């Protein structure tokens, strides 16, 4: 947008043009990142007081990747019934271009009402290994 007096219509036209440029950039970008959140409320399994308990969720990406991406997960919320330190482990399996399986495992006296998990899927092409760049 050039300098000088502009009307609201000029500004709207400029925003529309900018929006189109961003859409083109997103559509042609070689980088693909997807994110999401999930709340696991499976009290039948998470609240059973005996032994090791597992529950799983199939996660689907908003858009498919060209090849299976790298997945990062983070615990964002936990509600525990007792005063014990909660024991929880997450595992990502079966990563494909369309999604992955998230498995939550708890054991002993860890009784969970629910677990919140955020995930980040990163296309492998944008991960740069610093060892590859050393001369």
| Residue 127: predicted pLDDT | 46
pTM of the model: 0.67
pLDDT band at 73 (very low <50, low <70, confident <90, very high): very high
Alpha-carbon span 88 to 36, nearest angstrom: 20
Of 10-14, 42-46, 91-95, where does the model show the most confidence? 91-95
Alpha-carbon span 109 to 51, nearest angstrom: 9
Query: Which domains occur in the chain, in start order?
Result: 32-124 (2.60.40.2080)
Alpha-carbon span 41 to 114, nearest angstrom: 5
Mean pLDDT of 59-74: 92
Alpha-carbon span 42 to 48, nearest angstrom: 10
Mean pLDDT of 74-101: 87
Residue 93 is encoded by which pair of tokens? 């399996």
| Residue 45: predicted pLDDT | 65
- Residue-wise pLDDT for 90-113, tens only, equals 999 999 999 999 999 888 777 777
| Residue 125: predicted pLDDT | 65
Tell me the CA distances in angstroms from 98 to 9, 27, 58, 67, one per residue in order: 42, 18, 10, 9
């Amino acid at each position: 947008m050039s300098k000088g007096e502009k009307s609201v219509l000029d500004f709207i036209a400029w925003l529309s043009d900018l929006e189109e440029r961003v859409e083109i950039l997103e559509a042609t970008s070689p980088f693909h990142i997807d994110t999401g959140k999930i709340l696991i409320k499976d009290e039948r399994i998470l609240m059973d007081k005996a032994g090791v308990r597992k529950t799983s969720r199939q996660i689907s990406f908003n858009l498919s990747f060209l090849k299976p991406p790298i997945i990062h997960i983070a615990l964002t919320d936990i509600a525990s019934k007792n005063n014990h330190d909660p024991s929880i482990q997450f595992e990502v399996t079966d990563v494909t271009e369309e999604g992955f399986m998230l498995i939550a495992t708890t054991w002993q006296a860890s009784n969970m009402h629910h677990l919140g998990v955020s995930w980040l899927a990163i296309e492998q092409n944008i991960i740069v290994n610093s060892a590859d760049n050393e001369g």
